[in-house]
């Protein structure tokens, strides 16, 4: 039996701060290869990724797992009460950067997959896609793996992303979709001048502030069947002006919109441009807009895949999970173009925090859930 706690500890000791591989994927490749998986490094533009498959290429019944081994920086290490990469175990917890997000999830599904194919070799294939670029820009991580798979004729029929999904209690939540994320940057340009002679200047600040208030006050929607209401947050307003007697020529602002399936990035960008045009009409101030889309909203409607996961969670924890689309973005936004995808993992309360830690018992339970999912999935094909 593969110990998922020991494997988590080994992964935590790998200093794989994005974009460094830190030995984490090499460690997994060695363990998976020893269990009979075909392992291929799929690196792109300096980012390390790993593809691993047990079973025949092109098998009709192919279950996939997706996860990442990269972690966010530790910050000031002196703020930690433990070595951030020491994987110390005490008080029933395993401590260290990535312990929760998401080396424990990766260890649990890797251990489940290795034991499953060894004990009850299925009629089909099991695929693991592992990246070192989820916490960064994510352009060369799971996206690169899926591009490579398409080119090689590799495919998953369904996929489970092992991100932490439970807010408070193990088993309480499965993610069946995610909101989209759009960042918009405005640059308002006027004419610099002396505050005592405002008629000789064109202050961009009032125009931009009125625009921001209009945007923040607007109700984008009231929610949809599977999503809460979309939200818009002003994240920064900057002039870079240290003087109290100078009207600035330029002011910048950034907003972020987390949007549901009532919108897409293109429709939201069109709306922002229209609002900017209304705000500047007749003012002499110009506003330019650039946008960055981290992902569109998506949903895997409740059905066979979410039922499969929910039944396994219920069987191992006694908890009936809710289906949710809450939270930020994840690599499921890339996988959803390839196959049906849901997310399930442990409680994520300490992810990205100082003294990040994971309940050791949850790692063991998570492995059992993943192994039950595999058994139930392949049993359906018999």
Which residues have a catalytic role annotated? 70, 134
Rounded Cα distance, 169 and 320, in Å:
11
- The tokens of 350 are what? 């300490």
Q: 49 has which bridge partners?
A: 131
Closest Cα partner for 233 from 247, 203, 208, 253?
Answer: 253
Which letter does DSSP use for residue 166 in this model?
B
Rounded Cα distance, 156 and 63, in Å:
6
Residues with Cβ < 8 Å from 199, sequence gap 6 or more? none
Instruction: Give the rounded distance of the alpha carbon of 114 from its chain centre.
Output: 25
Instruction: Let me know the angle formed at the C-alpha of 170 by 166 and 174, rounded to the nearest 5 degrees.
Output: 45
3-state DSSP assignment of residue 300: coil
DSSP characters for 97-164? TTIIIIIHHHHHHHHHHHHHHHHS--SSEEEEEEES-SSS--TTTHHHHHHHHHHHT---SEEEE---
Characterize 39-66 residue by residue with b for buried, 16 or more Cβ atoms within 10 angstroms of its Cβ, and e for exposed. bbebebeebbbbbbbbbeeebebbbbbb
- Does residue 124 contact residue 53 with C-beta atoms inside 8 Å? no
Rounded Cα distance, 34 and 144, in Å:
25
3-state DSSP assignment of residue 198: helix
> Phi then psi for 340, rounded to 5 degrees?
-60, 140
């Amino acid at each position: 039996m593969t110990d998922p706690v020991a494997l988590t500890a080994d992964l935590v000791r790998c200093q794989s701060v994005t974009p460094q591989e830190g030995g984490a994927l090499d460690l997994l490749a060695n363990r998976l290869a020893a269990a009979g998986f075909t392992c291929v490094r799929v690196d792109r533009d300096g980012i390390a990724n790993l593809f691993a498959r047990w079973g025949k290429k092109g098998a009709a019944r192919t279950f996939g797992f997706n996860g990442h081994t990269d972690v966010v920086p530790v910050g000031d290490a002196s703020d930690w009460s433990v070595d951030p990469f020491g994987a110390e175990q005490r008080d029933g917890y395993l401590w260290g950067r990535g312990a929760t997000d998401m080396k424990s999830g990766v260890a649990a599904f890797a251990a489940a997959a290795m034991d499953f194919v060894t004990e009850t070799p299925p009629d089909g294939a099991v695929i693991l896609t592992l990246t070192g670029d989820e916490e960064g820009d994510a352009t060369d991580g799971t996206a690169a793996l899926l591009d490579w798979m398409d080119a090689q004729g590799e495919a998953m029929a369904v996929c489970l992303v092992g991100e932490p999904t439970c807010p408070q209690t193990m088993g309480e939540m499965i993610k069946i979709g995610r909101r989209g994320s759009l960042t918009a940057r405005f640059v308002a340009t006027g004419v610099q001048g002396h505050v005592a002679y405002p008629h000789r200047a064109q202050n961009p600040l009032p125009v931009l502030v009125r625009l921001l208030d209009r945007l923040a006050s607007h109700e984008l929607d009231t929610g949809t069947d599977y999503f809460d209401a979309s939200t818009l947050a002003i994240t920064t307003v900057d002039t870079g002006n240290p003087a109290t007697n100078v009207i600035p020529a330029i002011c910048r602002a950034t907003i972020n919109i987390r949007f549901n399936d009532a919108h897409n990035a293109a429709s939201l960008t069109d709306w922002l441009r229209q609002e900017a045009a209304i705000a500047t009409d007749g003012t002499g101030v110009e506003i330019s807009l650039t946008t960055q889309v981290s992902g569109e909203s998506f949903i895997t409607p409740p059905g066979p895949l979410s039922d499969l996961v929910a039944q396994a969670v219920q069987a191992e924890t006694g908890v009936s999970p809710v289906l949710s689309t809450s939270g930020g973005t994840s690599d499921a936004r890339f996988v959803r173009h390839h196959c049906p995808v849901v997310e399930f993992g442990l409680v994520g309360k300490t992810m990205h925090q100082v003294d990040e830690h994971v309940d050791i018992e949850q790692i063991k339970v998570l492995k059992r859930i993943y192994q039950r999912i595999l058994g139930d999935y392949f049993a359906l094909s018999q």
